[in-house]
Structure 1
Amino acid sequence: MLARLNSFVSTPKDSPPPPSADTVDSIEDPLASVASSLASALPTVGRPPLPIPSQLEDLKSQLPIACSSCDSCEDDEEEGEFPELPSKFDMDLETEMLGDIIKPMNRLTIIATSKTDWQHEIAETPASLAFHLSQVEKRKAVRPTPSGTSVEPPIEIPGLYDTQEMSKLAVLASSIEVDEEEGKTCALLFPDFKYISAIPISKEGAHALYDQNLDPSVSALGHPASSSDEQLRSWILPYRAVVLLCSHKTRDKKCGIAAPLLESVLTSTLTLHGFDVDTTGSSLHHLPSGEEISSLSSEQEIQNLLHNASGTGGGGGNDKEVGIFKISHLSGHKYSGVMIICFPSGAILYYGRVRPRDCVAIVEKTILKGEVLAEHLRGGGNLRREKGKSLLDW
Structure 2
Amino acid sequence: MSTPPSPRPASPSPHSTIVVSVLHPAKMGGICHCRSDLSDRQAGHAEYPRRFVVDCDSTLLGSMKPFRRQIVISTGKSDWDYDITATPDTLAAAVAQAQPPPPPPTEPITIELDEKASAPLIPGVFSSLDYTRLSILNGSHQTLSAEEDEQTCLVLPDYTVVVGVRPSDAPELWRTALDASIPRFGTSQSARFATHVLPFACVILLCSHKRRDNRCAISAPKLENAFMRSLEAKGWTAHTQLEHIVDPPLEKFSGTAEEKERHIADELRTLPATKRALILRNSHIGGHKFSGNCVLYLPSGSCIWYGRVTPHEVESIVENTILGGLVLPTLLRGGMNISRPGCPTLHDW
Is TM (by shorter chain) over 0.5?
yes
C-alpha deviations, 1:291-347, integer Å up to 9, x for none?
A: 635415331211101101133xxxxxxx21000000000111000000110011111
C-alpha deviations, 1:175-198, integer Å up to 9, x for none?
A: 011231121001001111001001
2:266 pairs with one of 295, 299, 304: 304
2:217 matched to 1:249?
A: no
Partner of 2:68: 106
2:48 matched to 1:48?
A: no
Partner of 1:349: 304
1:77 pairs with one of 37, 41, 44: 37
Preserved CA contact (<8 Å) 1:62 1:386: no
Partner of 1:116: 78
Q: Report how far residue 201 of structure 1 moved.
A: 2.4
Preserved CA contact (<8 Å) 1:62 1:387: no
Partner of 2:53: 90
Partner of 2:240: 279
C-alpha deviations, 1:45-103, integer Å up to 9, x for none?
A: 11122112457998665241112264878533244121101112111100011102x21
Partner of 2:187: 223
Mapping of 1:38-187 within 5 angstroms?
45-54=1-10, 62-63=19-20, 64-66=22-24, 67-68=26-27, 70=29, 74-75=33-34, 76-80=36-40, 81=43, 82-100=45-63, 102-139=64-101, 155-180=120-145, 181-187=147-153
Matched letter for residue 112 of structure 1 = S
Q: Kindly tell me: are residues 193 and 71 of structure 1, through their superposed partners in 2, closer, same or farther at Cα, counting changes over 3 Å?
A: closer
Q: Report how far residue 224 of structure 1 moved.
A: 4.2
Q: Report how far residue 221 of structure 1 moved.
A: 3.6
Deviates more, 1:249-258 or 1:153-162: 153-162
Mapping of 1:334-345 within 5 angstroms?
334-345=289-300
Normalised by the length of structure 1, the TM-score is 0.77
Q: Kindly tell me: are residues 303 and 87 of structure 1, through their superposed partners in 2, closer, same or farther at Cα, counting changes over 3 Å?
A: same
Matched letter for residue 246 of structure 2 = L
Q: Secondary structure of the equivalent of 1:361? A: helix
Distance 2:222 2:312 in 1: 10
Matched letter for residue 247 of structure 2 = P
Distance 1:329 1:56 in 2: 33
C-alpha deviations, 1:123-176, integer Å up to 9, x for none?
A: 01100001011111145879x9xxxxxx96775122211111111111100001
Provide the alpha-carbon RMSD of the alignment.
2.6
Unpaired runs of 5+ residues, structure 2, are 107-115
Q: Kindly tell me: are residues 79 and 328 of structure 1, through their superposed partners in 2, closer, same or farther at Cα, counting changes over 3 Å?
A: same
Larger RCO, structure (CA 8 Å, separation 6 or more): 2
Matched letter for residue 148 of structure 2 = E
Q: Secondary structure of the equivalent of 1:109? A: strand
Q: Kindly tell me: are residues 288 and 231 of structure 1, through their superposed partners in 2, closer, same or farther at Cα, counting changes over 3 Å?
A: same
Distance 2:96 2:170 in 1: 9
Q: Kindly tell me: are residues 153 and 216 of structure 1, through their superposed partners in 2, closer, same or farther at Cα, counting changes over 3 Å?
A: farther
Matched letter for residue 140 of structure 2 = S
Partner of 2:111: none
Unpaired runs of 5+ residues, structure 1, are 1-44, 145-150, 312-318
Q: Secondary structure of the equivalent of 1:263? A: helix
2:340 matched to 1:393?
A: no
Distance 2:120 2:201 in 1: 29
Preserved CA contact (<8 Å) 1:241 1:343: yes
Partner of 2:113: none
How many residues align? The count is 328
Distance 1:335 1:308 in 2: 34
Q: Secondary structure of the equivalent of 2:99? A: helix
